Structures are given as structure tokens and as C-alpha cells.
Amino acid sequence: MRIDKIIDRISKTIFPWSLIPHILSGSIPLSLRIFVWLIHLKRKYLVRKKGSFKWLHNIEDIKEYNIPASALDPKTKKIGISALARLKNAEEFLETCVEQLLPLIDEMILLVDINSSDKTEEICESLSKKHPKKCKFFKYAPEVYPWNHPKYSSTPDNSVHALSYFYNYCLSKASYRYVMKFDDDMLVIPENFKEMIDHIHREQPMEMMLALPQINVSLDANGEYAIATKYLQSGIAALFWDHGIFPISEETYFYNDTGCENIIMPHKIKYGKISFLHLKNLKSDQGLKNYTGYGKKYIEDLQRGTEYISLPKKYRDTIKNALWDSKPIL
């Protein structure tokens, strides 16, 4: 059994859905902190094993997609926060989620896979024209292999087709010292996120990853915004991996791990407040358009035997205000 499957099975066993109310109240259980500490040890080991970032030139020798040597040097960056959006077929909530986050950060990197079949590219071009000082729009032409693609595991990290290279190319475009992954379906909780930004500015220089958990929002049987309780990760996202704010460094970069992309970093993880509502399950296709062959099984597994708890009112209001009181239709 692959190590990622083992970790997933362990996490679903030792972190039951009953922890969700504790996390919503801001309490991170000790068992979860220990698990994250083990992840930190793994990352420290990988830093020693893999060393600093070395994939500046892609093996296809496409010069426009090479990564400058200074791209991950923090001394070349201004103090501030860049959000990294790696996008394909992302039109549904993209504009709303970017507009909500933009006033709270210094820069939004919009990297679009031009193999998208929807209006993602047009939306990003429009955002960059509307916010030229904050939205930086880039196009990516090579085909990118997602984690369930047959060629994913055999594609080296220094190939333009590697998911990790796509991520690192996006990372290289950041102008600011602190960065965060941003997905097209992440709706910011402004008051919580602002507290995290204030914390970063107080803690200069910040040498940690400030993890930002997200609530996975679903619709229950009555069509109300809710949280699935099949297991902990069905209700709360980004508890273990790479969603959060972290400093750029030559020892911090993405690589193709077994089962999905992952991040190498030497920094310890500190939990911040729940700062985003993850709207993937509210999309018309539940966010599975980019995953070949996996979608049907995922949806069936998600819906089989799933129960829900109500999404707290303040978060329901956040969604309604952002989406102009219109609920997505599954």
C-alpha cells in the first residue's frame, strides 16, 4: 500500500468527524498537532535529501518556461503577500473569490493553463486589466498532468508537463516575500484572514508556515449550506499540507509526491484561524472537471452515507453576501 494511502487511512481513523466542532471553535486537538509535527519532520528530511531548488531549466528546453535563479531568493522580494492561483477550467467562482481576497493581499498571480475549455483565461485577463497593480496574468501552454493522469508518476519534476513544475513556475512569479496557494473556489473570511495578515506583519521576519484551515461547504438534503461529516477531511480542508502563508526560500518548493503534488519546506507549522470557505462541492461538477475517470467514483463515495451539520450562520452570510444571495445548483 502506498504511503499516501496509509496516511489517509490513518488520518480518517484517528481524526473522526466529531473533531469538526472543536476546530470550528478554534481548538486544535493534541492528536492533530502531533500528526502535523510528524509531517514537519518528513519535510525537514526531504529538505536534507533533496536540497535546494534545482529545476531552473526544464528538460524540454523551452526557455520561456525556465525559472530565474533569483526567483526563490527572499532577498529579492518585497515585504508583503502574493497569492498563487494555478488555474484550469476555473470560471465558476473565480472572479468572486479573487475580488473578495484582493483588498487583503499585495498581489495575485493568475497562472492559467490555456488548455482550459471555459472562460478562465478571459476572466483573468479582465481582472488584470481592472486591477493592473495587483493582478499579474500569465499563460501556460504545455499540457499539465494532474495527479490522476497516467503520466503523472513518470514525469520528472523538471518537465514542463509536471504538476509540480506548473506550481513552481507560478511560485517564481511572486514579487513578495510571503506566499500562499489560492484556489479559484476559496472564499475568504475577511475578519479572520485580516487577523492572520496582522500577525505576519507583527512577526517580522516570519520563519514559519501559518496554516489556514478551510471549511468544505456542501449542500445538505434541504439545499442548505452545511458541512459533511463523513470524516474530518470531508468537513475541514488544509489541516495537514500546503494551504497557508509561508516565506519564499530556495528550500521551499513543490514536487510530485505519490498521489498528489506536495511541498518541501524547512519551516515549522503554526495553526491560524479558519480563513476560507472551500466552495468546491458547490460547483456544478463538484470541481472534478479536470480529473479524468476519477469524478464519478469521488462523488459516489462523497454522497454514500454522508450526514451533515449546519454551517454556522456567520459563514452562511459570508457566502450569501459574496454570491449575491444566489446558491449554486448541483
In terms of residues, how long is the chain? 330
Most distant CA pair in the chain, distance = 53
Q: Which three cell numbers stand for residue 74?
A: 527572499
- What is the tens place of the pLDDT at every residue in 179-233? 999 999 999 999 999 999 998 888 888 888 999 999 999 998 888 999 988 777 7
Number of domains in the chain: 1
**In the predicted model, what is the mean pLDDT of residues 54-80?**
92
| 324 pLDDT tier (thresholds 50, 70, 90) | low
In a domain, 260, yes or no: yes
Residue in the structure block whose three cell numbers are 481582472 = 127
Q: Check residue 303 and give its pLDDT.
A: 60
Scanning the chain, the segments in alpha helix (DSSP H) are 3-14, 20-24, 30-50, 91-101, 120-130, 163-172, 190-202, 232-235, 295-303, 313-322
Half-sphere exposure of 206 (CA within 13 A, CB side): 25
In a domain, 17, yes or no: no
CA nearest neighbour of 112 among 86, 84, 83, 143? 86
Compare 4 and 258 and report the one with higher pLDDT.
Answer: 258
| 300 pLDDT tier (thresholds 50, 70, 90) | low
In a domain, 106, yes or no: yes
DSSP letters spanning 137-192: EEEE-S--B-TTSTTTTTS-TTSTTBHHHHHHHHHHT--EEEEEEE-TTEEE-HHH
Residue 119's domain comprises 78-322
pTM of the model as a whole: 0.89
**In the predicted model, what is the mean pLDDT of residues 62-78?**
93
In a domain, 299, yes or no: yes
**Rounded CA gap, 132 and 105, in Å?**
14
Residue 56 has pLDDT above 90, yes or no: no
In a domain, 34, yes or no: no
**In the predicted model, what is the mean pLDDT of residues 125-130?**
98
Q: Which three cell numbers stand for residue 314?
A: 456567520
Residue 101 has pLDDT above 90, yes or no: yes
- What is the tens place of the pLDDT at every residue in 8-34? 566 556 677 788 888 888 888 887 888
List of residues 6+ apart from 17 with CB closer than 8 A: 229, 230, 231, 232, 234, 235
| Cα–Cα separations (whole angstroms), residue 157 to 101, 104, 164, 227, 265 | 30, 32, 6, 36, 16
Residue 299 has pLDDT above 90, yes or no: no
Reduced to 3 states (helix: H, G, I; strand: E, B; else coil), residue 226 is strand
In a domain, 52, yes or no: no
**In the predicted model, what is the mean pLDDT of residues 251-266?**
87
In a domain, 295, yes or no: yes
Q: What is the CATH number of the domain that holds 181?
A: 3.90.550
Q: Check residue 293 and give its pLDDT.
A: 61
In a domain, 173, yes or no: yes
**In the predicted model, what is the mean pLDDT of residues 98-110?**
97
Residue in the structure block whose three cell numbers are 477531511 = 233
- What is the tens place of the pLDDT at every residue in 33-48? 887 777 778 777 888 8
